[in-house]
Chains A and B, each alone.
Chain A
């Protein structure tokens, strides 16, 4: 079951904040976040396991609400280097592969 991401695209000016959401209709075991720059491979950002934890990566952090079966990625004080497509990937158990959402295209402009 492919997770649903929102918004599909967002444009920010440098320094602005953004939130990208990822939701699933099935119970989640873990949520992964990846960023893909144009013409490149997706690069891992972070994993969140069920338990409602929040993790951080520089000015990029994420939360995981197990009850609501959703995760949010927070980008604060955005930089030009944050531009790219962000994918969430989800698993339903400890031994199932990642299923990715369709991605959110983030453009940061000066």
Chain B
């Protein structure tokens, strides 16, 4: 298996622009998680899905953030409009069950100027 695949690896954008991060989970994994990593806060859970349905989005910082999972093999995290404080590494992870071993993607390094 190719593992969890994220794109792009790096994204540099200007404040106010829309940013879309993409994730393909491991086939057969029913759970998908979006985490954000910063020096100050560490790894924060933003939202997670079970069988394509959002279960808990309480970690999404603001209405500017939205996430979708239209099918079992694809998820997006969108920020609109982006702000400099959104700069971070965004990780997607998947697992067979919540609370089980997480498989992380390589992450997207987002820089908002």
Contacts and interface: CB of A to CB of B under 8 A. Distances in A.
B105 interface: yes
Given A97-B33, A97-B56, A44 B41 contact: no
Interface residues of A, number: 25
Contacts of A103: 42-43
Interface string B83-113: 0000000010000001111111111000000
Main secondary structure of the interface of B (DSSP, over half): strand
Interface in A28-52: 29-30, 32, 34, 40-44, 47
A41 B91 contact: yes
A100 interface: yes
A87 B45 CA distance: 14
Contact of A95 (B42, B98, B101, B102): B98
Interface of B: 31, 33, 35, 41-45, 48, 56, 91, 98-107
What 10 pairs across the A-B complex have the smallest Cβ distances? A102-B42, A41-B104, A100-B43, A91-B99, A44-B101, A97-B48, A97-B98, A42-B104, A41-B106, A95-B98
